[in-house]
Amino acid sequence: MSDETAERIADLIAPLRVRPGSKVDLERDFDPRYKGGLKKRDGAELLRTGVSLLAEYQERLAAQDTYGVVLCLQALDAGGKDGTIRHVMSGVNPQGVRVSSFKVPSSEELDHDYLWRYNQRLPTRGEIAIFNRSHYEEVLVVRVHPENLVRQKLPEGSLGPGVWDRRYREINRWERYLTDNGFKVVKIFLNLSKEEQRTRFLKRIDLPEKNWKFSAADVRERRRWDDYQFAFSEMLSATSTKWAPWYVVPADRKWFARICAAAVLAHTLDEIDPQFPDVGDQARQDLLVTRRALELEAPEGDAADPYAERHPSAGRTGKRHGKSRKKRG
Ligand code: AMP
Ligand code: MG
C-alpha cells in the first residue's frame, strides 16, 4: 500500500490499541460511540479501500507461505462479530480463510486442556483464521460463570483464586510462541454500549427474520453486564502485549466498527509485508527457455505469445511481478 494509506490506517487505529502494561477501565477509557472524526459517507469508500487491500495482501500471504494470521474477535451479544466478519472478509479468496466459531465446549473438548480446541483451529502458513469468539472466552464467560470452570475437570491444585492470573500468563506465552513461529495473533474487542445492546436486542425481537438470532440466554447475560465489563477490563489489562496487542473497537456504529476491524487487519498484514516468492535466477532462465519453445508452437498467423501481445508491459523486460511498498525506515 502507499505510504499515505499506511499512515492513515496507523493513525486511525492508534487510539484503539491498548498499551501493553496499562491498567484498563473499559468504561472510563473507551467510548463505544467514538468515530474518529469520520462521517458515515466517507466510511463506505474507506471500507472499500480496506477490503481490496486485504484481498491483495492475502494473495501475497498465501503465495509466500511463511506467515499465518489469527484474528480473534470478542464482543458481548449483539456486538456485531458476524457482520464484521461478513463485511471485512467480503473481498478475500475463501480458500485462504477459515472461520471458526467457539460455543459452549463439547464433552470431547472438556476432556482436554482448555487451549486444545483453539489449537485445532489455528491457520496454516499462508492462511488467515478468524476466531468468532476465541480462547479469551476462557477468562470471560468462564470467569463470570465459574460453574464453567468446574466442568473443565481441573485437578484440585489448579483451581483457586490464582487461576485467572495463571490463565492470562499461559495465554500470553501461547501467543508469544505462535508469534515467534510465524503466526501473528490479532485481537479485536468490539466495544458495545449497554443502551445500543438494548436497541439491537429489540430489533431482533421486532423483526421476525431476526428472531433466530435472539435467545433468552442473551438477556440473562445482559444482567451480568457489570461483571463482564470487569472481566473485559482485567483481560485487556493483562493480555495486551507487544507481540499481540488488543484493539478496542468502538462498536455502537456498525460502519465504523467494520472500517476499524479492516484497518487493524490491514495494518498487521502491512507489518508482515508478505511478498510473492522470487523463483531465483536459474529457474527464471529455465522459464524463458520454456517460453521460447511454447512460442515456436504458435499456429501459423497467430501471435507467438498471445498474453504478452495483449499485455505489452508484462514479463518481457525480465522484470518480475511488482513488490509491495518498500518498508519505511
Ligand atoms: P453464540 O456465539 O451466540 O452462538 O453463543 C455461543 C455461546 O457459547 C456464548 O454464550 C458463549 O458465552 C458460550 N461459550 C463460548 N466459549 C465458551 C467456553 N469456553 N465456556 C463456556 N461457554 C462458552
Ligand atoms: Mg448469542
> What would the pLDDT profile of 251-306 be if each residue is shown by its tens digit?
999 999 999 999 999 999 999 999 999 999 999 999 999 999 999 999 999 999 99
Q: pLDDT at position 325, please? A: 53
> Of ligand 1's atoms, which has the minimum distance to the CA of residue 101?
2
**CB-CB contact of 261 with 9 (8 Å):** no
Amino acid at 25: D
**How many angstroms separate the alpha carbon of residue 125 from the centre of ligand 1?**
27
Cell (9 digits) for 150: 468446574
pLDDT tens digit sequence for 25-45 = 999 999 999 999 999 998 888
Q: pLDDT at position 321, please? A: 47
**Could you tell me the strand order of the sheet in which 128-132 lies?**
97-101, 128-132, 68-75, 183-191, 246-250
- Residue partners of 158: CB distance under 8 A and separation at least 6: 166
Q: In a mutational test of the pocket of ligand 1, which residue from 104, 154, 192 has the highest number of ligand atoms less than 8 Å from its CB?
A: 104
Helices (H), 39-152: 40-64, 81-88, 107-110, 116-120, 141-144, 147-151
Cell (9 digits) for 206: 421486532
Q: pLDDT at position 320, please? A: 46
318: pLDDT strictly greater than 50: no
**How many angstroms separate the alpha carbon of residue 214 from the centre of ligand 2?**
7
pLDDT tens digit sequence for 79-137 = 999 999 999 999 899 999 999 999 999 999 999 999 999 999 999 999 999 999 999 99
- Give the Å distances, CA to CA, from 256 to 74, 259, 318: 16, 5, 44
Q: What is the mean pLDDT of the chain?
A: 94
**How many angstroms separate the alpha carbon of residue 101 from the centre of ligand 1?**
9
Is 133's C-beta closer than 6 angstroms to any atom of ligand 1? yes
Ligand 1, atom 7: closest residue by C-alpha: 103
Percent of the chain residues topping a pLDDT of 70? 95
Q: pLDDT at position 329, please? A: 42
Q: pLDDT at position 313, please? A: 83
**How many angstroms separate the alpha carbon of residue 78 from the centre of ligand 2?**
7
pLDDT tens digit sequence for 46-73 = 899 999 999 999 999 999 999 999 999 9
d(CA 320, CA 122): 32
d(CA 89, CA 84): 8
d(CA 197, CA 219): 10
Q: pLDDT at position 322, please? A: 44
**How many angstroms separate the alpha carbon of residue 221 from the centre of ligand 2?**
10
Domains annotated for the chain, with CATH where assigned, are 3-272 (3.40.50.300)
211: pLDDT strictly greater than 60: yes
Q: pLDDT at position 315, please? A: 62
> Of ligand 1's atoms, which has the minimum distance to the CA of residue 141?
12
**How many angstroms separate the alpha carbon of residue 4 from the centre of ligand 1?**
40
Is 220's C-beta closer than 6 angstroms to any atom of ligand 1? no
d(CA 241, CA 199): 34
Q: pLDDT at position 316, please? A: 62
Q: Quick one: pLDDT band at residue 249, thresholds 50, 70, 90? A: very high
Percent of the chain residues topping a pLDDT of 90? 89
Q: In a mutational test of the pocket of ligand 1, which residue from 108, 133, 210 has the highest number of ligand atoms less than 8 Å from its CB?
A: 133
**CB-CB contact of 16 with 249 (8 Å):** yes
Q: pLDDT at position 277, please? A: 94
